[in-house]
Amino acid sequence: MFRIISFTFLILATQAISFSQNSLISADELFQNLQEWKVLDLRSSEEFNQGHIFSSQNISRAQYEDSTYAYGGMMATKTQLEDLLTSLNIGIDDQIVVYDSKGGCEGARFWWIMDHYYRHVQKKPQTVFILDGGYDAWGDRNSLISPWLIDNSNKIPFKFNVEDSATEITPDLLVTKDQVEFMFFRDKHILQQPDNKVLIDVRTLDEYTGKVMKDGAFRAGRIPGAIHFEWTNCINYGGDKKLKSKEELQNLFTEKGISPDKDIICYCHSGVRSAHTTYILTQILEYPNVSNYDGSWIEWSYYKELPIDSGEVVVETKDTNLVASTQAGYWEAFKNSFGSFADYTWREISLQVDPWYINYFWWLIILSLVVWMLEIAFPWRKNQPIVRKDFWLDAFFMFFNFYIFKIIIFMAFSNVSEMAFKDLFGGDLSKFALIDLQSMPGWAQLLIFFVVTDFIQWITHVLLHRFNFLWQFHKVHHSVEQMGFAAHLRYHWMENVFYTPMKYIAVMLIGGFTPEQAFIVFYFAIAIGHLNHSNINLNYGPLKYILNSPQMHIWHHAYELPKEHSKGANFGITLSVWDYIFRTNYVPSDGRDIKLGFDGMEKFPKKFLGMTIYGFKKEK
């Protein structure tokens, strides 16, 4: 009885509803005329098998992508699309409804591809509609349907008929890499910002700033000059995933300076989320000049000669078209760095980063605990306490240098350094690359990135010992009297300031890197560094000529060194090979019980604050 009443109420409620004119359809509209539609489910096969709209057929995005490119995500060819629709028994004049579970972005991508071919081949309006709210909006309507027989045995060939119409439908909603480059750039490096054109990046803020790089991309960051407008702003993302009202949508875009009088280009990772924004602007808000960049960030990042940008930006007022500018001044860049890293650190602590496994905070803790347990299980100096002298001081240094200091000043310094390098060298550091890293296999990219950055750090480490001004800060690291893993990260925060410009030189030499590569190299270096300072007896056998070890590194901290090494020895961070090449190696014995420190240790501060200000004092 309840189903009969519900069905009667639903019919009455939908009598006054007319079919949407903007390619958006409600669940009620679809239910009322389900037999007249071909319905496509764009969710995963697992979701489809758990439940789907009656009569719908399941397809995946891969079935309407062109896989012949060196990078992924490009729209299917005309023939590929015709073959797919033929296999689904869909004819050229059939009305199609698509739905997903992601707020409509998958449906919008399919709609956008069909729109392109209908405009330029079939030359008439397409007939694809998107179900507002996706599968969740359908609810329990399957229970109100009297099933009918679906016969797909006689396939209807789907063919775009070029001669079907003589009139071209314009404008096209597709834009290519070459078109984007022509509109916004003139010589690969100089950004053009025409007043009537807007480039919108609809990805997450972390993708936009380069903190996160999704699978498939070749570099992290954004297209220079793009403003950020996340696609999820257009839907009730945390709720029913339906579109917001037309008035709300109009206000959102107006606040960003995205108005109907402009030529608008949308892009994302692979043209899927940006297809949704293109759909909103053209079908709901009826903006006349909007295009979706098909290749989007995957394609743009593939071509290393194309300029990219990254980091936080300063957004100007709408009177200046809300252009995201990296030239807003060093002071603004400095000020805007604090909150972003604090927020990112909190998301790491609360396990909200994506992907979840690239989490510097928890990996540092896990790695430290593992090495500490190894120290306890296999101590080299058996009389050394488990909680050795200054253990907690070193632990504080570890978290201060990695998180507190970065929140307070270092991320601001890094962003200013990045801006300075770009201003100094023309905005795109990749033109100074000595090698084409992106053309190499992934393992080769990772190896080169690791070797080059380790060598740059070796050079910097040598300088910390050779120049007295730098040595006054580096003394903090050499003030350790009992060696243990946490001593690895006892160092003055000024060392980060010295290392950063050198690391940018490394980036210039190799033409960039990916966040994944940085993460792997970083934690490999942390692991080796922890072991090198640990109370564990390791020398790696023949590999000692390649990798640094506790037996080698303890001599770097020796209180007494021969005259030829009076400025230090064994400067290797992760690799020992540099010391053997440049003859700065010195390992006369295993060094288990040698005295650590430097001349004048007895006068060196013992507390954190004293160590922090020591390097700034004038030498007596």
Q: Are 505 and 456 in contact (CB under 8 A)?
A: yes
Instruction: State how far the Cα of 271 lies from the Cα of 277, in Å rounded to an integer.
Output: 10
Instruction: State how far the Cα of 457 lies from the Cα of 453, in Å rounded to an integer.
Output: 6
Instruction: State how far the Cα of 212 lies from the Cα of 243, in Å rounded to an integer.
Output: 27
Window from 292-296, 325-329, 394-398 with minimum mean pLDDT: 325-329
Window from 209-218, 336-345, 371-380, 472-481 with minimum mean pLDDT: 336-345
The tokens for 50 are: 């758990």
R_g of the chain, CA atoms, integer Å? 30
The string of pLDDT tens digits covering residues 405-453 is: 555 555 555 555 555 655 565 545 555 566 666 667 878 878 888 888 8
The string of pLDDT tens digits covering residues 144-160 is: 877 766 666 677 788 87
Whether the bond into 355 is cis, omega within 30 of 0: yes
Pairwise pLDDT comparison (598 vs 168), residue with the higher score: 598
Q: Which residues contact 360 (CB under 8 A, 6 or more apart)?
A: 348, 402, 519, 522
Pairwise pLDDT comparison (254 vs 504), residue with the higher score: 254
CA distances from 1 to 4, 142, 152 (A): 5, 16, 34
Average pLDDT over residues 97-124: 86
- Please state whether 37 falls in left (phi above 0), alpha (psi between -120 and 50) or beta: beta
The string of pLDDT tens digits covering residues 485-515 is: 989 888 888 887 777 667 666 666 665 555 5
pLDDT on residue 191: 53
pLDDT on residue 447: 87
Angle at 298 between CA 297 and CA 301, to 5 degrees: 75
Record: fold of 2-164: Oxidized Rhodanese; domain 1 (3.40.250)
pLDDT of residue 297 exceeding 60, the answer is yes
For the chain, the structural domain boundaries read: 2-164, 174-328, 338-614
Which phi and psi angles does 96 have, rounded to 5°? -120, 135
pLDDT of residue 317 exceeding 80, the answer is no
Position 26 confidence tier, pLDDT thresholds 50, 70, 90 = very high
Burial class (CB in 10 A: 0-12, 13-18, 19+), 399: middle
Partners of 98 in the β-ladder: 40, 130
Position 14 confidence tier, pLDDT thresholds 50, 70, 90 = very low
Nearest to 469 by CA among 503, 497, 490, 489: 497
Average pLDDT over residues 186-201: 67
pLDDT on residue 620: 53
pTM of the model: 0.52
In whole numbers, what is the pLDDT of the chain averaged over residues? 80
Query: Which CATH number applies to 174-328?
Result: 3.40.250.10
**Reduced to 3 DSSP states, what percent helix, strand and coil does the chain have, rounded to the nearest 5?**
50, 10, 40
pLDDT on residue 165: 41
The tokens for 469 are: 């001004």
Instruction: State how far the Cα of 555 lies from the Cα of 539, in Å rounded to an integer.
Output: 13
% of the chain surpassing 90 pLDDT: 43
> In which element (H, E) is residue 11 found?
helix 2-14
pLDDT on residue 1: 38
Q: Are 73 and 65 in contact (CB under 8 A)?
A: yes
The string of pLDDT tens digits covering residues 575-602 is: 999 999 999 999 998 888 899 999 888 8
pLDDT on residue 614: 87
2-164 matches 174-328 in fold? yes
Instruction: State how far the Cα of 314 lies from the Cα of 326, in Å rounded to an integer.
Output: 7
- Parallel, antiparallel or unpaired: strands 290-293 and 263-267: parallel
**Dihedral over Cα of 469, 472, 476, 479: its sign:** positive
Instruction: State how far the Cα of 419 lies from the Cα of 427, in Å rounded to an integer.
Output: 8
pLDDT of residue 519 exceeding 80, the answer is no
Instruction: State how far the Cα of 68 lies from the Cα of 81, in Å rounded to an integer.
Output: 14
- H, E, C per residue of 36-66: HEEEEECCCHHHHHHCCCCCCEECCHHHHEE
Instruction: State how far the Cα of 429 lies from the Cα of 408, in Å rounded to an integer.
Output: 27
Q: Which residues contact 185 (CB under 8 A, 6 or more apart)?
A: 191, 192, 306, 307
- H, E, C per residue of 595-617: CECCCCHHHCCCCHHHHHHHCCC
Window from 96-100, 409-413, 516-520 with minimum mean pLDDT: 409-413
Q: Are 314 and 332 in contact (CB under 8 A)?
A: yes
% of the chain surpassing 70 pLDDT: 75
pLDDT on residue 193: 57
